[in-house]
Structure 1
Amino acid sequence: MDKTFNAITVEEKKSGQFFQSIQERNIYHLPKGDLLVRVKYSSLNYKDSLSYFGNKGVTKIYPHTPGIDAMGIVEFSKTKDFNEGDKVIVTGYDLGMNTPGGFGEYIRVPKEWVTLLPDNLGDSESMILGTAGITAGLCVNAIQEKHKIKGKKAVVTGSTGGVGCIAVMLLTKLGAEVTAITGKTSSQDFLFSIGAKEVLPRNDYLSSVKKPMSKGSWDIAIDVAGGEMLAGLIASIKYGGIITCCGLVDSPSFTSSVFPFILRGINLIGIDSAENPINKKAEVWNNFANHWKLNAIQNISRNVDMHGMMDEINKISEGRQLGRVVLKHK
């Protein structure tokens, strides 16, 4: 098949430097796979910025097109599981890491990475959610397996980012009283507008924590920061409380004590969204299309083209991102 398309492309020069541009690519540049998908929407995640700037822990082979999320239409299928014309979602696995991702107008992927777009979920809505929504949803599922959410006190770190702001909205919808912790002091109005009952400045909160055990303030937590923030939450969760850990924007390392675990019986649960089985992801998508429907989700996002996405990648790498950014292909 001889067809060209545009894609944000990252190249590695002999000097070891990385160069980013919008290039015309050909379908034959794509790897083998069961489905050829014309991408309508993608979205920006922190991992995309790592790939974009040449982090070899994320992407080893260049030239490369980032974009770990994609929603689009099947143009060619080798499998009976999907038909041409189907609307589909792909998030995680190797997409956008070493497999060309959603920042290009076409992707080719294995069927095991793909799920149908639920009927009650809009095209762009699915990418406002994207990997961030899947991650927040998996956190909530893990919490619900051990704890009721309605009426509980919840805390979300990194609350202005993708996972964080969706977690605030979802926990609020499910009846929790949500505290949002943020390092962006100018974002209070935004966080109150999406459902937070309290907003705590990051540094103020950390300076108030007493270790190894502080006052038990919350029943449940969704942490995207790791590092010192996660250590603070471990010291601050009530008896029998649950922390879901899904990020490391602060640090991958933290120092804590066994005391909160053996004296308060708290639970720390790790959440992975990239390699989670596709049936589990499909369950989360269907939840967002039905009883988890976030009717105001358009308020936390903005659409950009490829040029705009390149500008937004610089913002997220500098910690200046607020809400969600969706790439709309022509």
Structure 2
Amino acid sequence: MTAVPTKTRCLVLTQQDGRTSASIESVPIASIPNRGDVLVNVAYSSLNYKDALAVTGRGKIIRGEFPFVPGIDLAGTVVESDSRLFTPGDEVIATGWGLGESSWGGYTEYQRVRSEWLVPVPAGLDLRMAMAFGTAGLTAMLAVKSIESKGIGPSDGEVVVTGATGGVGSMAILILAGLGYAVVASTGKPDAHAYLRRLGASTIIDRGILSAGAARPLDTGSWAAAIDSVGGSTLSAILSQIKRHGVVALCGLVGGAEFESTVYPFILRGVSLVGIDSNTCPPPLRTSAWERIAGIVPSNDVLQTVRMVKLQDVSEVCEEMLAGRITGRTVVSIFGEDA
């Protein structure tokens, strides 16, 4: 294996007078502040909504000290290990556990990570594919598992997915369609309808139908389940329209952190509202979710959702994401060879 260099090239955030700035810098590996027993040569990371908020400074995402390296997920190869769980040469994935929030993250060539945060790349995935899914794919898979855990299968009715062109939404549609569910995609992007149908959506609705909120506490039961990454008034509308004993998997708040509802969907229809937390998902569940992902979705279907960018392009692409101009997943090629 190639000798580990003394420095790592990374995207570094600094803050002055409340303003966040990003630049590409070369940092001594010995100065990485993370307390980790594994050193990973990072090949790919990805760009999530939370990353965009962190890089631009528009959200209170970073809880660590500046200067700071963002990126809430990574995939790469172990080059040094003091853990019995991993040895040099192992390909691994890291998502969550405060990576890119309280500890330095994936926008770097080398990162020190705790072994308990790492998951082996399952058979059927390579490093790029792992980050094509990334945090968004893991979150989507956990949401699907929560639907399955309530005994809801493809024959029970349609599943509505909000924020359908976003990372979690796109991955949720792919996974659900791969399992045979009929998917209703909610979007505000008319030019993305063909894209959503390629992913597997059978029906597409305008997001305004849901973002207007609930017309009444209990409306016509339309869907067996929902995966909602929007929250706010959209969640209110969904809860009023879920069929008896259905489930809503909630995993985002781009439409607002507060919502209005009544007890009626829960006590008259037995609807379940389940929160999806991929950040601190226990390792056994995390590993099984990744193995499930690898076995469900063909690589060609995933790659059609992916845009490859270089590390130096991250700041610009973050602005695009916050402006709503990104569709699907964005993978960051750390070495830029395939971006």
Common fold by TM > 0.5: yes
Deviations 1:29-62 (A, max 9, x none): 2123100001000001111112212333433421
- Which residue of the partner structure matches residue 321 of structure 2? 316
| 174, 178, 186: which one aligns with 1:181 | 186
Residues 1:70 and 2:74 aligned together: yes
Is the alpha carbon distance of 1:222 and 1:294 closer, same or farther for their aligned partners in structure 2, counting shifts above 3 Å? farther
- Which residue of the partner structure matches residue 126 of structure 2? 122
Is the alpha carbon distance of 1:108 and 1:10 closer, same or farther for their aligned partners in structure 2, counting shifts above 3 Å? same
CA–CA distance in 2 between the matches of 1:21 and 1:107? 17
Gaps spanning 5+ residues in structure 2: where?
none
- Which residue of the partner structure matches residue 147 of structure 2? 143
| 23, 32, 37: which one aligns with 1:34 | 37
1:207 CA displacement: 4.4
Letter in 2 for 1:97: E
What is the number of equivalent residue pairs in this alignment? 329
- Which residue of the partner structure matches residue 247 of structure 2? 242
Note the 1:286-325 alignment, pairs <5 A: 286-293=291-298, 295-325=300-330
| 237, 243, 251: which one aligns with 1:232 | 237
Is the alpha carbon distance of 1:234 and 1:294 closer, same or farther for their aligned partners in structure 2, counting shifts above 3 Å? farther
Letter in 2 for 1:282: T
CA–CA distance in 2 between the matches of 1:248 and 1:182? 15
CA–CA distance in 1 between the matches of 2:246 and 2:152? 11
CA–CA distance in 2 between the matches of 1:133 and 1:28? 32
Deviations 1:96-120 (A, max 9, x none): 1121111111110111101111122
1:181 CA displacement: 0.4
1:231 CA displacement: 0.5
- Which residue of the partner structure matches residue 6 of structure 2? 3
* Stretch of structure 1 that moved more, 146-155 or 86-95: 146-155
Are 2:214 and 2:236, in contact at CA under 8 Å, matched by a contact in 1? no
Are 1:287 and 1:293, in contact at CA under 8 Å, matched by a contact in 2? no
Are 2:42 and 2:111, in contact at CA under 8 Å, matched by a contact in 1? yes
- Which residue of the partner structure matches residue 19 of structure 1? 21
* Stretch of structure 1 that moved more, 60-69 or 297-306: 60-69
Give the 3-state SS of the residue equivalent to 2:22 in structure 1.
strand
- Which residue of the partner structure matches residue 50 of structure 1? 53
Give the alignment's Cα RMSD to 1 decimal.
Answer: 1.5
Are 1:160 and 1:182, in contact at CA under 8 Å, matched by a contact in 2? yes
Give the 3-state SS of the residue equivalent to 2:304 in structure 1.
helix
Are 1:288 and 1:294, in contact at CA under 8 Å, matched by a contact in 2? no
Letter in 2 for 1:129: F
Give the 3-state SS of the residue equivalent to 1:308 in structure 2.
helix
- Which residue of the partner structure matches residue 256 of structure 2? 251
Are 1:93 and 1:113, in contact at CA under 8 Å, matched by a contact in 2? yes
Residues 1:92 and 2:96 aligned together: yes
Residues 1:104 and 2:108 aligned together: yes
Q: Percent identity of the aligned residues?
A: 37
Are 2:183 and 2:203, in contact at CA under 8 Å, matched by a contact in 1? yes
CA–CA distance in 1 between the matches of 2:133 and 2:177? 16
CA–CA distance in 2 between the matches of 1:95 and 1:208? 34
Residues 1:168 and 2:173 aligned together: yes
Are 1:7 and 1:24, in contact at CA under 8 Å, matched by a contact in 2? yes
Letter in 1 for 2:10: A
Are 2:46 and 2:132, in contact at CA under 8 Å, matched by a contact in 1? yes
